Amino acid sequence: MIKRTSVLFLIPLLLLSAALSGAAGRREQPSEAFSAALPVPPVLEAETAADGTKVYSMTAREGVREFFPGASTETAGYNGSYLGPTILVRRGDRVRFRIKNELEDATSVHWHGAHVPAEMDGGPHQGIETGAVWSPEFLIDQEAATLWYHPHLIPTTAEQVYRGLAGLFIIEDEHSDSLDIPSEYGTDDIPLIVQDRKFDRDGTFAYGPGMPEIMHGYQGNVVMVNGAIQPYLDADKPLIRLRLLNGSNSSIFRFRFEDGVSFAQIASDGGFLGKAVAMENIILSPGERAELLIDFGGRKRNDTVDLLAETSSGEEYRILRFRMKKSFTADASGAIDYGSPLNSIEKIPPGEASRERRFVMSSMGPGGRLTINGKRMDMGRIDERVSLGSTEIWTIENGSGMGGRMGMMNTPHSFHVHDGQFQILDINGAAPPPGEAGWKDTVLLWPGDRIRIIKRFEDFTGIYMYHCHLLEHEDAGMMGQFEVLSP
Ligand code: C2O
Ligand code: CU
Ligand code: CU
């Protein structure tokens, strides 16, 4: 547990990334800006078809943005120039999308974290050619959670996400309605998509990873929130809920608030935790989400509190400033309820598993390649066959620990599985920390880590992916396919 929150965090890659960052000709994160309000992605409006299906329309296209005043950046977005609208659905909804690709290249739209039929998943098999429209349709059949969507073609995922193609996908249900937590989207229930970027002087995104940057993941020196550099957010209420997504390509962030403002984690990737968990900081690898509650009780009007993000090489960025709109009285017991249950999570019994599999992630596969079980992704090959209705335990190992913790091949990886959520059984033999004891779809593995997960494969047959969610690794082939088959 200590290991996951602190020890390893400062070590990796410092020397190499310093050598590669080539600061000349690049824009830097301002030390203090906080002059523009945090943009909040709009909620996508649906039309309701005669049979009750909610129909959503999105267009992926290129655009232009001024992230730095006076310098324009070529971007891409859904229904806009950068990022996409928030898709807000309810459990039990039948939804259909009309996704038009107006990009110059083929793309796809994957519903990260969703339990949907394989043909609707938006993975590498569901490409949308330029000019084409893709219309997936599915039932929302999972609990309230903060999911997200992004392109998923090989090998263009990393570059397309970098240009701005990503958005949130929020599911609500009767249970989330009943919880006494902030839930006014954009007011006290705030989406935060955190992404690091590198910009050239003229404002262009400097995306072009070389071999070492593919190996270590492409890392930026500007950290944006919802596509803005150092925005502020006016806090009208003492208790704020944040839906935090690490939407970076490869940077792992440790988030904390300055001057020790207390906060709790209330949800992980796939739903609410059993109870609110008090935290001092939280680490999210690319693709992971967490919902947090922050308590501003006792702060005075015009006080500020900054949200900080620290990279694994130890640089810390001030990424968002909360400004108190009024003075908030301190509730002696605090505004966060740590006592009441938030969710009842049925632990999947390990005894239910009928099969175990092992996945070894390596940065030193054949030919210095990024591999899982020694293989690179091949769309024509099914790596694992899983039987529908079964439960399995998967052991995942980050075998990139060779050369010691300071070694050049000492790369963190993550493991993401499509087709819904799993639970973590143990991390290096120990129970997961409370913030990772709920529903997960992506898990971080530091070099040498060994993690066991348990998952049910229900409802749908077909081909799904598992992969490292460091996007440069994913595009380089650190991915495999499992097919769910009727027994
Ligand atoms: Cu978020 Cu297979 O991806
Ligand atoms: Cu996914
Ligand atoms: Cu990786």
Q: What are phi and psi of 19, to 5 degrees?
A: -65, -30
Can you tell me the mean pLDDT for 244-255?
A: 98
- Residue 110, both tokens: 């994957």
Name the residue with higher pLDDT: 25 or 317.
Answer: 317
3-state helix, strand, coil in the chain (%, to 5): 10, 45, 45
Q: Please list all protein residues whose beta carbon sits less than 5 angstroms from ligand 2, which is an ion.
A: 112, 418
Residue closest via CA to ligand 1's atom 3 equals: 112
Find the 416 Cα to ligand 2 centroid distance in Å.
6
Q: Model confidence at 365, in pLDDT bands (50, 70, 90)?
A: low
Closest-approaching ligand to the CA atom of 476:
3
Closest-approaching ligand to the CA atom of 286:
1
For residue 453, CA distances in Å to 2, 408, 423, 428, 429 come to 20, 28, 6, 12, 12
Residues 423 and 376: beta-carbon distance below 8 Å: no
Atom of ligand 1 nearest to the CA of 442: 1
Side-chain-side CA neighbours of residue 477 (13 Å): 18
Q: Which residues contact 346 (CB under 8 A, 6 or more apart)?
A: none
CA distance linking residue 272 with residue 171, whole number of Å: 11
Atom of ligand 1 nearest to the CA of 123: 2
Please state the three-class secondary structure of 119-156 as a single string. Answer: HHCCCCCCCECCCCEECCEEECCCCCEEEEEECCCCCC
* Percentage of the residues of the chain whose pLDDT score is greater than 70: 92
Find the 135 Cα to ligand 3 centroid distance in Å.
31
CA distance linking residue 48 with residue 168, whole number of Å: 21
Residue 5 in this model has a pLDDT that exceeds 70: no
pLDDT digits (tens, 9 = 90+) for 108-167: 999 999 999 999 999 999 999 999 999 999 999 999 999 999 999 999 999 999 999 999
Side-chain-side CA neighbours of residue 52 (13 Å): 6
Atom of ligand 1 nearest to the CA of 150: 1
CA distance linking residue 337 with residue 407, whole number of Å: 43
Please state the separation of Cα 115 from the chain's center in Å: 16
Atom of ligand 1 nearest to the CA of 287: 1
Find the 483 Cα to ligand 2 centroid distance in Å.
15
Find the 162 Cα to ligand 1 centroid distance in Å.
14
Residue 12 in this model has a pLDDT that exceeds 50: no
pLDDT digits (tens, 9 = 90+) for 279-314: 999 999 999 999 999 999 999 999 999 999 999 989
Residue closest via CA to ligand 1's atom 1 equals: 112
Find the 111 Cα to ligand 2 centroid distance in Å.
6
* Percentage of the residues of the chain whose pLDDT score is greater than 90: 86
Residues 30 and 230: beta-carbon distance below 8 Å: yes
Closest-approaching ligand to the CA atom of 468:
3
Residues with CB under 6 A from ligand 1: 110, 112, 150, 152, 287, 416, 418, 465, 467, 469
Q: Which residues contact 337 (CB under 8 A, 6 or more apart)?
A: 180, 276
Residue 405 in this model has a pLDDT that exceeds 70: no
Closest-approaching ligand to the CA atom of 112:
2
Closest-approaching ligand to the CA atom of 124:
1
pLDDT digits (tens, 9 = 90+) for 65-124: 999 999 999 999 999 999 999 999 999 999 999 999 999 999 999 999 999 999 999 999
Residues 229 and 29: beta-carbon distance below 8 Å: yes
CA distance linking residue 283 with residue 442, whole number of Å: 12
Residue 330 in this model has a pLDDT that exceeds 90: no
Q: Model confidence at 382, in pLDDT bands (50, 70, 90)?
A: very high
- Residue 162, both tokens: 């970098």
CA distance linking residue 391 with residue 185, whole number of Å: 36
Q: Which residues pair with 101 in a beta bridge?
A: 60
Find the 349 Cα to ligand 3 centroid distance in Å.
29
Side-chain-side CA neighbours of residue 216 (13 Å): 22
Find the 365 Cα to ligand 3 centroid distance in Å.
12
Q: What are phi and psi of 335, to 5 degrees?
A: -85, -15
Atom of ligand 1 nearest to the CA of 418: 2
pLDDT averaged over every residue in the chain: 92
Find the 142 Cα to ligand 2 centroid distance in Å.
15
Q: Look at residue 100 in the predicted model and tell me its pLDDT.
A: 98
Residue 23 in this model has a pLDDT that exceeds 70: no
Can you tell me the mean pLDDT for 242-256?
A: 98
DSSP H or E segment with residue 462: strand 462-467
Q: Model confidence at 403, in pLDDT bands (50, 70, 90)?
A: very low
Q: Look at residue 367 in the predicted model and tell me its pLDDT.
A: 65
Q: Model confidence at 368, in pLDDT bands (50, 70, 90)?
A: low
DSSP 86: B
Residue 289's identity, in one-letter code, is: R
Q: Model confidence at 42, in pLDDT bands (50, 70, 90)?
A: very high
pLDDT digits (tens, 9 = 90+) for 427-460: 999 999 999 999 999 999 999 999 999 999 999 9
Q: Look at residue 477 in the predicted model and tell me its pLDDT.
A: 96
Atom of ligand 1 nearest to the CA of 112: 1
Q: Look at residue 347 in the predicted model and tell me its pLDDT.
A: 97
